Structure 1
Amino acid sequence: MKTVKGPGIFLAQFIGPQPPFNSLEGLAQWASALGYKALQVPCNHPKIFDLSHAATSQTYCDEVTGLLANYGLQISELSTHLEGQLIAVHPAHDVAFDGFAPAALRGDQEKRTAWAIQTVKLAAAASARLGLQAHATFSGSLAWPYLYPWPPHNPQLLSEAFSELARRWLPVLDEFDRYGIDVCYEIHPGEDLHDGVTFERFLALVNHHPRCNILFDPSHLHLQHIDYLQFIDIYHQRIKAFHVKDAEYLPNGRSGVYGGYQRWIDRAGRFRSPGDGQIDFPAIFSKLAQYDYDGWAVLEWECCLKEAETGAREGAEFIRRHIIPVADRAFDDFAAQSQQAASIRAQLGLSAAESHD
């Protein structure tokens, strides 16, 4: 059996213009002081982490690794959530997502898509130079505007959307396979891979690619009313990354799962800091230990109520407290006895002469 690693923290929600949040060293010093052991590093902040440089320079990667080691830290995964999103963007979302691309590419969907694919491929090379095993990303979405369709469900439209999504991602998965690194799609509303069924559909279209895997975040499943514990039972072989994020769903007579276009604080379903919501984390950590998950448990802070640094401080201890140091032997090993076949047969009331040894 294997023990979950942690605590780790996803830096995306904490990077900012003021120290210590405006440099990798400042963030490392801050996270280390809170008790974190790893950083999940987004790739869209070159001043924090230069992806292009990391993909081509072992020296740079060694410098990053050494800097973090000075604070007792390592990288859990690199993240290309925004770049992965840009691999597949429906025209309805073009303007909203254009800001995630370099200025020179905005307004040109074809060039933006090519840039996104190449950028995520660079993350494979960078991850390999850093000695990582997994990578966190989004799938992007072509079919999402048709989630709850009117006019009614169009099978051909959805088939074409998922086929195109697979076509765009297959070369990326092959590149990660070349380096032996798992691509972990965060199963997330807004992405075409937003539940188990959509992940399975995509997985089949990429020929059950060995690098097509899952970033498990129970908050997104809970708010869809999906059994997130059974999800682990079903997909544990593909779960290679884990976000520790809490959520709550508070039924009421005015709005539901879709949120009513309201602020997060007013929605029936909303994200909370770990321990403040409804997610059964003891059961999750037990399931992951049972299935030998040995990746990182990484805090993703997105609480609608609690202040960010408070959530980060509490999150480190919350994860540490929930990690189960797995047993290296069974509790009843003391009762085991090494016995010869004749003795075993005697216990069963069988004749030693009838043994088939």
Structure 2
Amino acid sequence: MGTQIKGPGLFLAQFSSADAPFNSLSEIANWAADLGYKGVQIPTFDARLFDLDKAADSATYCDEIKGICSDAGVEITELSTHLQGQLVAVNPVYDEAFDAFAPTHLHGNPAGRKDWAIDQMMKAAVVSERLGLSHTVSFTGSLAFPFLYPWPQRPAGLIEEAFTELGRRWTPILNHYKDHGQDIGFEIHPGEDVFDGATFEMFVDACGGHDAAMINYDPSHFLLQQLDYLQFIDLYHDRINAFHVKDAEFNPTGRQGVYSGYQNWTERAGRFRSLGDGQVDFAGIFSKLTQYGYDSWAVLEWECCIKSPEQGAAEGAPFIANRLIEVTDKAFDDFAGSTRDEAQIKRMLGL
């Protein structure tokens, strides 16, 4: 008997650095395996670990990447294109801030940056297929998010046009992913136009109900919005293709609430925390995902304003492993069961 959900997995983006063992895929994969991780989610935007352009040109390089991970004793869970996906749609107010995610020669060139991001997304579909995967994770980008709060009054049709444009940009990408046997789990995240269930529905509608538009489920972003993250699974479980295991806490005061008063992370009412240090009900989440048949990876995304990443990673592997559920093929009251007796049934019903 085994677990239905695979894990523990580790998203490498927050650990990559210029220092060993975090500056090469081989070393960081071995480090993760030594901590007890069975899989790694690879950021395609960090050339120290992975070269997406090279992978798109070379099947041999993809085989080398698979070999590096296999030799370390980990599987590749998904490819992450969060930063490139973000750049598919950028409101001009964010141009300067998000230029940091693009190559230097594209800074100050929003149209060129968008085209580059779309090309990167297309390449990731081909590479994910070459690696023998079927799921990827990303962001939708944001055209409407600066107008999140309805003051000043929004012009009629502003939000509708923003999502229509998202559909125009993402539908060809999603078609390409489907052609390569892939889908995209969009992380539902404030700062993106898709930040809750309602906006995800709007996005899917704008993409014609596309079945390659999926969800990378991360309860931390829902807790900070005070959204019911367990009911979210009830509503959207058929669209969840990936799972970021990330904790958070929300402690409102008389001074600040959900918006957290422009404070730094340590002073915010809503904060991301290492696994087990926050308020997320992971027992409930793992139970519901198992109940609905989720059979992909549980991947730690570490973000904490207090604890070190090394400690967070070391604690994260056993935390996830201890919450994986071995699915039963028995009913708890089987011992009291009996074979069907038609005569007995009729007697008990007075028939």
The aligned counterpart of 2:292 is 291
2:69 and 2:42 map into 1 onto residues whose CA distance is: 12
Deviation at 1:349? Answer: 4.5
The aligned counterpart of 1:7 is 8
Identity of aligned residues (%): 56
Secondary structure, aligned partner of 1:99:
helix
1:16 and 1:2 map into 2 onto residues whose CA distance is: 33
Measured against aligned partners, the alpha-carbon deviations of 1:188-226 in whole angstroms (never above 9, x if no partner) come to 000000000000011111111011110110010000010
The answer as to whether partners of 1:2 and 1:292 remain within 8 angstroms in 2 is no
Deviation at 1:341? Answer: 5.3
The answer as to whether partners of 1:2 and 1:326 remain within 8 angstroms in 2 is yes
**Please, what TM-score do these two structures have when normalized by structure 1?**
0.94
Q: How does 1:1-357 map to 2 (within 5 A)?
A: 3-339=4-340, 345=346, 348-350=349-351
2:265 and 2:184 map into 1 onto residues whose CA distance is: 29
One-letter amino acid of the counterpart of residue 36, structure 1: Y
Secondary structure, aligned partner of 1:7:
strand
How many residues are matched? 350
Structure 1 window deviating more from structure 2 (146-155 vs 185-194): it is 146-155
1:59 and 1:224 map into 2 onto residues whose CA distance is: 44
Structure 1 window deviating more from structure 2 (28-37 vs 252-261): it is 252-261
One-letter amino acid of the counterpart of residue 170, structure 2: W
> What is the alpha-carbon root mean square deviation over aligned residues?
1.5
The answer as to whether partners of 1:80 and 1:137 remain within 8 angstroms in 2 is yes
5+ residue gaps, structure 1, are 351-357
Deviation at 1:336? Answer: 4.2
1:337 and 1:76 map into 2 onto residues whose CA distance is: 44
Deviation at 1:327? Answer: 0.9
5+ residue gaps, structure 2, are none
1:133 and 1:335 map into 2 onto residues whose CA distance is: 43
1:165 and 1:27 map into 2 onto residues whose CA distance is: 35
The answer as to whether partners of 1:223 and 1:249 remain within 8 angstroms in 2 is yes
* Compared CA separation, residues 260 and 329, structure 1 to 2 (3 A): same
Deviation at 1:40? Answer: 0.6
One-letter amino acid of the counterpart of residue 315, structure 1: G
* Compared CA separation, residues 2 and 18, structure 1 to 2 (3 A): closer
Secondary structure, aligned partner of 1:141:
coil
The answer as to whether partners of 1:2 and 1:293 remain within 8 angstroms in 2 is no
The answer as to whether partners of 2:3 and 2:325 remain within 8 angstroms in 1 is no
